Amino acid sequence: MTWTAPTPADLSGGPLTGDERPLLEGMLAWQRWTLLNICAGLDADQLASRPVESTNLSLLGLVRHMAKVERIWFRKRVAEEDVEHLHRFEAHDDTDFLVIDPADAEHAITQLAEEQAAAARAVVNLPLDLEIEVHGAPMSLRMVHVHMIQEYARHNGHADLLREAIDGATGR
């Protein structure tokens, strides 16, 4: 039997009004879920494919990239966890996008879900006003949430186009 990316558990959605933190966390949860849902039902070869000739993007590359980004922003930078970088981050060579192997797909999907959960746990009790230093300037945890929502939204748009090119599916 061929492995296919699982459908993520239904997401009830976050609040549409109320306090800032649940709004930010709810929107980020939605964006996280969306990427996994776009990948759902595809096999490893489809996830690793690069169906748009003008780019090196693949769904597997996007999954690997977002796992790396989750770890960097929430766990390493904000929570200061002593965990290794993923996908040769220090090399700044886009390994997460370029080194694609269908045999890695199941692990990559699992790793992204695990990194998403670990990132959420790492900052759940930290104040949104907490500041970290990023490239010599202060940045709040609030802004890290906004940045990650933007990062997912951007790449989810890419993922939508890739999924449509793979099998015609839209609106995932």
- Which structural domains are found in the chain, ordered by start? 41-167 (1.20.120)
Q: How far apart are CA 146 and CA 8, in angstroms?
A: 23
Question: Would you say residue 67 has pLDDT above 90?
Answer: yes
Question: Would you say residue 146 has pLDDT above 80?
Answer: yes
pLDDT score for 13 = 74
Helix axes 59-70, 141-167, angle to 10 degrees: 170
Question: Would you say residue 88 has pLDDT above 80?
Answer: no
| CA distances from residue 160 to 44, 137, 155 in whole angstroms, order as listed | 17, 34, 9
Query: Ranked by mean pLDDT, which of 5-14, 84-93, 147-156, 163-172 comes out on top?
Result: 147-156
pLDDT score for 86 = 87
pLDDT score for 91 = 60
Here the tokens at position 148 are 């990650």
Share the mean pLDDT of the chain: 94
